[in-house]
Amino acid sequence: MDNSVPRAFRFWALAAGIFNLASSSGLAVPVLYRYQYQMINRTNHLLGLGGDALAAPREGVNMLFVNTAGLILCSVGMMLIYASRDLRNRSGIPCFNALTRILWAGLIIYYVVAENLARILITFAVTDLIFAAVLLYYVAQTRRRLLNS
């Protein structure tokens, strides 16, 4: 990696990718996703955050949708890890990921408010907004450095 790409950019792209893999891999596996739902519900209850408990799907097509979403989120995590190796040429990946994280956070907030979902989901929105802000900052900083060199 050269000086046109801040070292911290690589760290944050890598961290965002690892976060995606860690938080989504359980959703990608049949039956295992139910334990992730239970963990989220228990944590929400223990913290007294309120909102309706998450109901793990039990119908085939809805279970498939959860597993598919988990696989896609893991794939996005792997793309971020891949991009972190050459951000000078692959900065579009974290840029689009940051924009998607902002939209995702908006959806979480909407559903927590409109459908009274478990409020612990707000922590996912906040985490994604932090990743989005940092990634967009470093994308912009890297572009400026490249234009000025």
Average pLDDT over residues 63-83: 98
Q: Which structural domain range is residue 18 located in?
A: 7-148
For residue 42, being part of any structural domain is answered with: yes
For residue 103, being part of any structural domain is answered with: yes
**Which residues have CB under 8 Å from 119's CB, separation 6+?**
44, 49, 50, 51, 112
Rounded Cα distance between 97 and 102, Å, is 9
Question: What is the token pair recorded at 14?
Answer: 């890598």
pLDDT of 2 reads 58
For residue 1, being part of any structural domain is answered with: no
Q: Name the pLDDT band for 86 (thresholds 50, 70, 90).
A: very high
For residue 133, being part of any structural domain is answered with: yes
For residue 63, being part of any structural domain is answered with: yes
For residue 76, being part of any structural domain is answered with: yes
**pTM surpassing 0.85?**
yes
For residue 93, being part of any structural domain is answered with: yes
Torsion angles phi and psi, residue 9, rounded to 5? -60, -45
The count of structural domains within the chain is 1
For residue 2, being part of any structural domain is answered with: no
pLDDT of 136 reads 98
